[in-house]
């Protein structure tokens, strides 16, 4: 497993050719209480940096961007039913979707935890 981050505050956990995607602690802190998530369709092929979904909170709405190109293989129905999981457990039960990587090389360009922590501190 390999946890990486984007400058748009998504995290991605790669296991083989499948990656799980969600929003970071920083993102959920900035948004406040999440009240709705719009998740992509299973089977959708989405390019890196394209909008894959939306997260809405009591304060704002934000796009969720695809950290890597690929095909959506699963969405978190528990999150759709209980969007507050994005706040209470953003790196665990609050994951958004899973994607089959179409270009594993894209993962290498993402931020590691040290680089993301430094980036988020200045965001």
Residue-wise pLDDT for 37-77, tens only, equals 999 999 999 999 999 999 999 999 999 999 999 999 999 99
What letter does residue 19 receive in the DSSP assignment? Answer: E
Residues 33, 38, 99, 13: what is their CA dihedral angle, to the nearest 10 degrees? 0
What number is the average pLDDT over the span 95-104? 96
Sheet containing 45-46, strands listed edge to edge, beginning at the edge strand earlier in sequence: 2-5, 10-15, 18-23, 97-101, 70-75, 45-46
- Residue pointed to by tokens 């979707």: 97
Domain 2-100 sits in CATH at 2.40.50.100
What is the value of pTM for the model shown?
A: 0.95
Q: Shortest CA distance to 45 belongs to which of 99, 110, 105?
A: 99
Cβ(96)–Cβ(21) under 8 Å?
A: yes
For residue 21, the SS3 value is: strand
Percent of all residues in the chain with a pLDDT value above 90, rounded to a whole number: 95
pLDDT score of 14 more than 70: yes
What number is the average pLDDT over the span 87-94? 96
pLDDT score of 82 more than 90: yes
């Amino acid at each position: 497993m390999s946890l990486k981050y984007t400058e748009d505050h998504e995290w991605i956990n790669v296991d083989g050719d499948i990656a799980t995607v969600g929003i970071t602690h920083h993102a959920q802190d900035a948004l406040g209480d999440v009240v709705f998530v719009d998740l992509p369709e299973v089977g959708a092929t989405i390019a890196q940096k394209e909008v894959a979904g939306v997260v809405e909170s009591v304060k704002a709405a934000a796009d969720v961007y695809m950290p890597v190109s690929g095909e959506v293989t699963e969405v978190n129905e528990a999150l759709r039913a209980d969007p507050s999981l994005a706040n209470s457990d953003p790196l665990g039960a609050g994951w958004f979707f899973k994607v089959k990587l179409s270009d594993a090389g894209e993962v290498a360009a993402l931020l590691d935890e040290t680089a993301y922590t430094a980036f988020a501190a200045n965001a």
